[in-house]
Amino acid sequence: MEEKKRIFSGMQPSGMITLGNYLGAMKNWTALQNDYDCLYCIVDMHAITVRQDPVKLRKQAKDLLTQYLAVGLDPEKNTIYYQSHVSQHAELGWILNCYTYMGEMNRMTQFKDKAAKHADNINTGLYTYPVLMAADILLYQTDLVPVGEDQRQHLEITRDIAGRFNTIYGDTFKIPEAYIGKVGARVMALQEPTKKMSKSDENKNNTIILMDEPAVIMNKIKRAVTDSEDEVRFSEDKPGISNLLGIYSACTGKTIAEAEKEFAGAGYGTFKTAVGEAVVANLEPIQQRVRDLEKNKDYLDEVIKKGAERASKLAERTLSKVQKRVGFLPKVR
């Protein structure tokens, strides 16, 4: 039987999962678990490049794992774990720092963006973030990495670092490719539909959170920015309505054309109510599964323990090979 290709994906626990995260990526993940060997890492080490409230960070990390399970990721088919529970990430990260050039780091646009937002905390971790991300990926001999446009530069430097190491020491790392899977909905901010919906948005009306109550969801959708017309159609000059059409299409499985036809002559009020109801219908079963899982602490602890053990076992294979290549003495067992 042909070995499954491996996919690595990491998500920060700094902020709540949004409707954009769910419709844009997570909704499709459940289909991947049958065809690929998937690792879903909660990258809490990356999260601390920005100051975090420790109590809040622990809660958000646990919430994220619970929500992974609630959307349908099977911990028997996928490796779901916390980055901080697998020490090989940090160990490989340090080694790769020594094979990464300052010039490469200086070109990283995300560092410049984040440094501008957090001018009072421009730390070294923020600067070398892409090297740790490279370690995350290369540690598991990853074949494919799902990346958005904002992460594409990080995947390129991962490939460059891996190629450089392989040139010096021989075939050590698999060179990962970008995973271009089924495209999920690109969900935009409700109040500013020209920018992407983000979990770090300070305007709470821009974002629908996975665990928002139905009444809150309906209210946010009803307050979403539209335009002065009253025609439900997908168009570049109608970003608000186009965004809501995309959300409705992703939640119902209907095409944009079918949705336009359904609401022809209906007006924005009727349309927004239908969009809100479709979102609620999608999220309510997930929210119920989250509540059920939260009551089962023993099960969650078992998932956390097994995920870390499985990830550590895989990671150690690569790390021990790398340590030998660079000249470290083997551990005495």
Q: How far apart are CA 116 and CA 323, in angstroms?
A: 36
Half-sphere CA count of 40, side-chain side, radius 13 A: 26
How big is the CA angle at 149 (ends 148 and 153), to the nearest 5 degrees?
A: 105
Q: In the annotation, is 56 catalytic?
A: no
Q: Please report the DSSP string for 196-222 in residue order.
A: B--TT-S-GGG--BTT--HHHHHHHHH
Report how far apart, in Å, the C-alpha atoms of 315 and of each of 80, 220, 289 are: 14, 43, 31
62 catalytic per annotation? no
Q: Distance between alpha carbon 37 and the CA centroid of its chain, in Å?
A: 17
Active site residue 261: no
- Name residues whose C-beta falls within 8 Å of residue 56's C-beta, 6 or more positions apart in sequence: none
71: nearest Cα among 309, 288, 299, 314? 288
Instruction: Write down the catalytic residue from 62, 174, 199, 222.
Output: 199
Q: Given CA atoms 118, 198, 208, 290 in this order, what sign does their dihedral have?
A: negative
**Which 8-state DSSP code applies to residue 26?**
I
**Considering 27, 114, 238, 272, which one is annotated as catalytic?**
114
- Cβ-Cβ contacts under 8 Å for 285 (sequence gap 6 or more): none
Q: What share of the chain is helix, strand, coil (3-state, %, to 5)?
A: 55, 10, 35
From 27, 196, 238, 272, the catalytic residue: 196
Q: Which residues are catalytic?
A: 114, 196, 199
